[in-house]
């Protein structure tokens, strides 16, 4: 299909494609903002889950992050080595109590500031109108979920 000027017509609008395109933009912006902190979006999510649910098990963290338990073990081991979390596992096979250290808390706070800057840039008052609308709609949808 082509327009009256012989140019190809744009593909039909698709909510899925629009959201996916925006998600790629957000992920790219977040990755760039978190890079100076030596964090990835995935590691930030794991830190956030550990901070918000003290004593969460490896299995619970895996379910929350939609990743494998093996991946959580690997990530937590790296974060322990970096001094970001402590794993108070008494012995192999026993339940873990994973918690942020003071260093991990400072890093999470710095990351939250970086995320807020990305939110402001992409969805704040100076963003293009469509992104402002999407940001407001997403926040309204999820804040109403928490109210019920």
- Is 119 a residue whose pLDDT tops 90? yes
Boundaries of every domain in the chain: 15-147
Beta strand segments in the chain, E:
85-87, 98-100
Q: What percent of the chain has pLDDT over 90?
A: 66
| pLDDT tens, position by position, 61-105 | 999 989 999 999 999 999 999 999 998 775 556 667 889 999 999
Q: Are 127 and 121 in contact (CB under 8 A)?
A: yes
Helix 102-123 with 15-34: angle, nearest 10 deg: 130
| pLDDT tens, position by position, 2-11 | 566 778 877 7
pLDDT interval class at 54 (50, 70, 90): confident
**Average pLDDT for 12-20:** 88
Judged by phi (left if over 0) then psi (alpha if -120 to 50, else beta), residue 67 lies in beta
* Size of the chain in residues: 148
The class level of CATH for 15-147 reads mainly alpha
């Amino acid at each position: 299909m082509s327009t009256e000027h012989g140019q190809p017509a744009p593909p039909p609008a698709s909510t899925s494609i629009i959201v996916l395109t925006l998600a790629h933009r957000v992920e790219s912006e977040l990755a760039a903002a978190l890079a100076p902190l030596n964090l990835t979006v995935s590691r930030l999510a794991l830190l956030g889950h550990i901070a918000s649910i003290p004593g969460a098990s490896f299995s619970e963290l895996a379910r929350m992050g939609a990743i494998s338990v093996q991946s959580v073990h690997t990530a937590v081991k790296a974060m322990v080595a970096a001094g970001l979390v402590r794993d108070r596992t008494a012995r192999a096979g026993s339940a873990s109590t994973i918690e942020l250290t003071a260093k991990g808390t400072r890093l999470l706070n710095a990351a939250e500031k970086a995320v807020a800057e990305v939110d402001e840039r992409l969805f704040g008052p100076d963003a293009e109108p469509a992104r402002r609308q999407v940001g407001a709609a997403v926040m309204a949808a999820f804040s109403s979920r928490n109210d019920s």
